[in-house]
Amino acid sequence: MAYDISNFADYVAKESTVLTKTLFAGGDSGHFAMFMTNVKGSTNVPHLSGTANLQSGSCATPSGTTTITDVTLTVKPFTVFEGFCNDELQEKLPNTVIAPGSNNGDELPFEEEIVNTKIASINEQLELTYWQGDTTGTYTLFDGWIKLIDADSNVIEGNSTSATSITQSNVKQLVADMRTSATAKVKRSKDYVTLVGDDVFDTYIAKEKADNLYHYKPEHDNGIYDIGGGQGKLIRCYGLDGTGRMFSSIGSNFIVGSDIENESQVADVFYDQKDDKMYIRVKAKAGVQIQNADEIVEFTLSA
C-alpha cells in the first residue's frame, strides 16, 4: 500500500479542496540538451564533419571529404507502480472527498494531484540520473553524462588553475577559464553554455551582485543567466548540485533519449476490483549520450 498516514490525524474538520504539496521545479536539461523521442532501444545519432578544400583557379578537380560518424544512444525501461487502499482514508477524510458507504475503492481522492506529484518525482529522479547515473552507483537506471564524459579521453580539462574549491571569490574566473579552454569554434557558437549545480549558480549570481555589476543583469531567467561580455549562458542543473563539477560546450552535445515526449502521456490510473485498490502506473524508457567529446570542457576540483 502506498498511503503513509501515520502523521495524518483522523477527520475533525479539514479543508477538503486544498492539498498542499511541493513539486519538483526541474526540466533543466530541456534548456540545452538535444532531446530524441520514440527511441525504443538503441539508435545511432549521426554527425557530419569535413573541411572545405579551397582550390585556386577554375575547372578544379574534386577534392575533399565529408566524414560521417555516430554515437549510439541506448534507453532503458523504468516503471513506477503504486497501489492505494482507500479504506485507510475512511476516518481521515470527510464525505465530500470519500463517498458515503464502504464501497469507494474505485475512486482515487486527489487523483490529479497524486498523478502530478508522481510525474514531478519521476522528472526529478531523471534529472539526477541524466548527470549522476551509474549502473553500479546510486542512480542505477543508466550511466549519466558525468560517467560518460569521465570515460572519454577526448574531453578537454577545464580546471587550469588546479582549484580545490569553488567560492564567491573565484567562481567567475573559473567559469571564464573553462571558456578559455574551449576551442574557438565552440565558444563562438550562440549555443555555447556552461552547466553548473544550483550551489555554484547561486554563488556566481551572488558574486555578480556583490560586484554591483547590474549592467550584467544578475536577475536570471529561471536558472538561465547571460554571462557578461557575450560569453554564453550559465545554466543551473539540478543533477550537478553538490557535485563540484562544471561543464561547458554546445548544448546539443548532450543528448537525452526517450520513447515518449512526456511521462504524463503514459500515466495510467485504474481500479482492481479483486484487490480493491486503485493503482497508478507509469512505464517509459530513458537514456543519455554525449557526442563530440572534443568539444566538451569538464571541470573537476583538484584534490
pTM above 0.95, yes or no: no
* Residue 148 backbone dihedrals phi, psi, to 5 degrees: -65, -40
Domain with residue 115: its CATH number is: 3.30.2400
Instruction: Please check whether residues 205 and 265 belong to one and the same domain.
Output: no
- Per-residue confidence (pLDDT) for residue 27, from 0 to 100: 86
Instruction: Please check whether residues 129 and 75 belong to one and the same domain.
Output: yes
Determine the 3-state secondary structure of 273 from DSSP: coil
* Residue 234 backbone dihedrals phi, psi, to 5 degrees: -100, 125
Contact 299, 149 (CB under 8 A): no
pLDDT mean by block of 10 residues, the chain; 303 residues:
58 49 79 93 75 70 68 93 77 54 56 83 94 95 97 96 98 97 94 97 92 69 87 96 97 94 82 86 94 96 94
**Can you read off the three cell numbers belonging to residue 181?**
579552454
- Per-residue confidence (pLDDT) for residue 20, from 0 to 100: 62
The CA-atom distances, in angstroms, between 188 and each of 4, 184, 192 are 53, 6, 7
Instruction: Please check whether residues 105 and 189 belong to one and the same domain.
Output: no
Instruction: Please check whether residues 94 and 180 belong to one and the same domain.
Output: no
Which residues contact residue 159 at a Cβ distance below 8 angstroms, ignoring those fewer than 6 apart?
174, 177, 299, 300, 301, 302
Instruction: Please check whether residues 245 and 264 belong to one and the same domain.
Output: no
Q: How many CA atoms lie within 13 A of 105 on its CB side?
A: 17
Instruction: Please check whether residues 261 and 135 belong to one and the same domain.
Output: yes
Instruction: Please check whether residues 249 and 283 belong to one and the same domain.
Output: no
- Per-residue confidence (pLDDT) for residue 217, from 0 to 100: 66
**Can you read off the three cell numbers belonging to residue 100?**
458515503
Nearest to 148 by CA among 293, 7, 262: 293
Which residues contact residue 298 at a Cβ distance below 8 angstroms, ignoring those fewer than 6 apart?
149, 150, 155, 156, 157, 158, 245, 246, 247
Instruction: Please check whether residues 101 and 166 belong to one and the same domain.
Output: no
The number of domains in the chain is: 2
Instruction: Please check whether residues 166 and 246 belong to one and the same domain.
Output: yes
130 within a domain of the structure (yes/no) = yes
Nearest to 283 by CA among 139, 80, 35: 80
Cβ burial of 70 (10 Å; 0-12, 13-18, 19+) is exposed
Instruction: Please check whether residues 245 and 231 belong to one and the same domain.
Output: yes
Q: Which helix (H) or strand (E) holds 117?
A: helix 111-132
238 within a domain of the structure (yes/no) = yes
Instruction: Please check whether residues 238 and 281 belong to one and the same domain.
Output: no
Contact 223, 28 (CB under 8 A): yes
Nearest to 140 by CA among 151, 131, 129, 149: 129
Domain that holds residue 123: 33-46+67-139+257-290
For strand 42-49 and strand 67-74, is the pairing parallel, antiparallel, or unpaired? antiparallel
Q: Which helix (H) or strand (E) holds 130?
A: helix 111-132
Distance separating alpha carbons of residues 99 and 81, to the nearest angstrom: 25
- Could you give the dihedral angle defined by the CA atoms of residues 122, 127, 132 and 138, in that order, rounded to the nearest 10 degrees? -10
Give the helix ranges, DSSP H, for 133-252. Answer: 145-150, 171-181, 184-187, 198-210
